[in-house]
Amino acid sequence: MKYSLKTLIDQIGPGHMPSTAYDTSWAARLLGIDAALGHGALEWISEHQLPDGSWGAEVPFYFHDRVICTLAAMIALTYSGRRQTDQKQIFRGLEALERIVSGATQGLRSDPNGVTVGFEMIVPTLIADAEKLGIIKGVGDSILGRLAQLRAKKLASIQGRMINKNLTAAFSAEMAGMDGQHMLDVDHLLEANGSVAHSPSASAYFALYVKKHEPATMDYLHRVVSPDGGLPNVAPFDVFETAWALWNLSSIPGFKMIENLKPHLEFLEKALEPKGGVGFAAEYSVRDSDDTGLVLDTLLRYGRESNIECLVAYEEPSYFRCYELEANPSLSANIHVLGALRQAGFDRQHPSVQKILDFLQQAKGDNPYWMDKWHSSPYYPTAHAIMACAGYANDLVEESVQWLLSSQNPEGAWGISVPTVEETAYAIQALRMWNEVSAPVATGSLKSGAQWLEDHFEDPYPPLWIGKCLYAPSLVIRSAAISALAGVN
């Protein structure tokens, strides 16, 4: 294998993620108070404009990602750019934004699972900045203008609750803009590491407009900036990276590297709180059922005793919520809670298990697959649902297995937009599990998929995960690919 298990295990840590245009654009605004950080970020923005003039993920083309990244990048270049080339890039960005928005009505109004985090809250503040700078004019009754109404509605829902580090809204603190800073509980907003919710963009906003040049926040930004001058969508995300990587590796037949995993398992055990569970990072104040469910599932897979009762805090009448005050439930969070309950020995007839199965059945509707608000591809939640249900609730996922088989491309890969290592790995993991515990799968499908994965193992990973923009947790993706290859070859 081109990449050893030991090397991957040794690299598990605070979180591996390429820089994103959105978060880097916020850091570029800091040029006036931190020349080194701002200049590096500005250079990154200048070098990463896409061929069509926009910013964001080149693949897949994702309306929300392109809109928010392009707006943020143009504003950063206007604030900090002084070169003639910067003005040309802004002009090309504006043309691209107009093309995207003119064809985005359906894309921006479709399934709420596709909306990037805080989109309807952040975009109106970016529009206000862009109008003030003279970049754009008169959005009025356009789709972008109408987002301001959605922002007002959302703000009304949290009226009377100051935004502090214990609320998910802190992750999108920049949505307060210049007119809503009264909503921020400034003295209780920063995490112990100096960040605002482990978000580089929210932290840059805080250091620029709320508490200018806050030393703890500037130190945080300097710690998480990448060598290329860019910044990731979230940092650190140590629990997320550790749990997902170990969960992927646990499905490798005959996996024998438990001693190498001991520090990582102990880290997850320490991070997991008996009542609240855990969040995507050990020092992040907000807990959620997605990370809690998968951490519990992972620990149980490796023979560690865990208190499954901490999931009770997330149980609603018809599903398990991911976060408090969420606008819509997460399918993958419920799938991961289901996996944890199964690992803990819960019978299929247990009320909590039945609740999730019924919720997933209703959410799927007439489709053979699931979509989720944390990932842009149906292969991620669908593969995880198959792995949670194989040999346990086969009836829920039988047609999903057939959909996986029928959607494999002639070269052996999978991908909703283009063939990708990540989506192919998920499909192979799920089909292998189904083949082992439920029903035979044609060996040709698994072998051709594994061959394509082997041949393309070092391909770049398109950002498919949904945050405030699209992002790619690269080590998590690589662990899925290694798991898929090790299980077939």
Domain at 193, CATH number: 1.50.10.160
Give me 226's structure tokens.
């990448």
Tell me whether residue 16 is in a domain: no
Alpha helices in 103-214, H assignment, sequence order: 105-109, 119-132, 143-157, 200-205
Cis status, amide bond into 60, omega within 30 of 0: yes
Indicate whether 256 and 195 sit together in one domain.
no
CA distance 421 to 480: 9
Q: What band does 142 get if pLDDT is binned at 50, 70 and 90?
A: low
Tell me whether residue 145 is in a domain: yes
Boundary (domain end) residue, out of 173, 197, 224: 224
Residue 270 CB burial class (10 angstroms; 0-12, 13-18, ≥19): exposed
Residue 288 CB burial class (10 angstroms; 0-12, 13-18, ≥19): buried
Q: How many CB atoms lie within 10 A of CB 451?
A: 16
Q: What band does 369 get if pLDDT is binned at 50, 70 and 90?
A: very high
CA distance 79 to 406: 50
Indicate whether 256 and 210 sit together in one domain.
no
Give me 77's structure tokens.
């270049």
299-306 average pLDDT score: 93
Residue type (1 letter), 479: S
CA distance 433 to 439: 9
Indicate whether 376 and 428 sit together in one domain.
yes
**Residue-level length of the chain:** 489
149: pLDDT strictly greater than 80:
no
Q: What percent of the chain has pLDDT over 70?
A: 94
Boundary (domain end) residue, out of 224, 247, 282: 224
CA distance 129 to 112: 25
177-183 average pLDDT score: 89
Q: What band does 81 get if pLDDT is binned at 50, 70 and 90?
A: confident
CA distance 45 to 86: 10
Domain assignment of residue 446, given as a range: 238-488
Q: Is the dihedral of CA 282, 230, 467, 294 positive or negative?
A: negative
Tell me whether residue 185 is in a domain: yes
- Using alpha carbons, select from 232, 320, 328, 316 the residue that is nearest to residue 281: 232
Tell me whether residue 231 is in a domain: no
Tell me whether residue 389 is in a domain: yes
- Using alpha carbons, select from 23, 420, 421, 18 the residue that is nearest to residue 200: 23
DSSP assignment letter at 438 = T
CA distance 37 to 76: 13
Alpha helices in 365-473, H assignment, sequence order: 379-389, 394-406, 421-437, 443-455
Q: What percent of the chain has pLDDT over 90?
A: 81
Tell me whether residue 6 is in a domain: no
Indicate whether 346 and 470 sit together in one domain.
yes
- Please report, for the domain that includes residue 266, its CATH number: 1.50.10.20
Tell me whether residue 72 is in a domain: yes
- Using alpha carbons, select from 233, 175, 235, 280 the residue that is nearest to residue 56: 233
Indicate whether 38 and 187 sit together in one domain.
yes
Tell me whether residue 9 is in a domain: no
Indicate whether 128 and 252 sit together in one domain.
no
238: pLDDT strictly greater than 90:
yes
CA distance 481 to 244: 12
Q: Are 48 and 55 in contact, with CB atoms under 8 Å apart?
A: yes
Indicate whether 251 and 135 sit together in one domain.
no
Indicate whether 213 and 306 sit together in one domain.
no
Q: Give the per-residue pLDDT at 156.
A: 72
What is the secondary structure of 305-330 as a DSSP string?
Answer: ---GGGGGGGB-SSSB-SSTT-SS--
- The domain tally of the chain equals 2
Q: Report pTM.
A: 0.95
Q: Give the per-residue pLDDT at 111.
A: 47
Give me 473's structure tokens.
């947790």
pLDDT tens digits, residue range 443-452?
999 999 999 9
Q: Give the per-residue pLDDT at 161.
A: 76
110: pLDDT strictly greater than 60:
no
Q: What band does 258 get if pLDDT is binned at 50, 70 and 90?
A: confident
Q: Which of 157-161, 162-166, 258-262 has the lowest mean pLDDT?
A: 157-161
Q: Is the dihedral of CA 226, 466, 104, 136 positive or negative?
A: negative
CA distance 49 to 90: 10
Q: What band does 140 get if pLDDT is binned at 50, 70 and 90?
A: low
- Using alpha carbons, select from 311, 314, 313 the residue that is nearest to residue 300: 311
Boundary (domain end) residue, out of 165, 198, 224: 224
Residue type (1 letter), 207: A
CA distance 132 to 74: 13
Indicate whether 60 and 199 sit together in one domain.
yes
What is the secondary structure of 263-282 as a DSSP string?
Answer: HHHHHHHHH-BTTTBB-SST
Indicate whether 386 and 430 sit together in one domain.
yes
Q: What band does 255 get if pLDDT is binned at 50, 70 and 90?
A: confident
Indicate whether 166 and 81 sit together in one domain.
yes
The two beta strands, 470-471 and 465-466, are antiparallel
Q: Are 293 and 333 in contact, with CB atoms under 8 Å apart?
A: yes
Indicate whether 159 and 254 sit together in one domain.
no
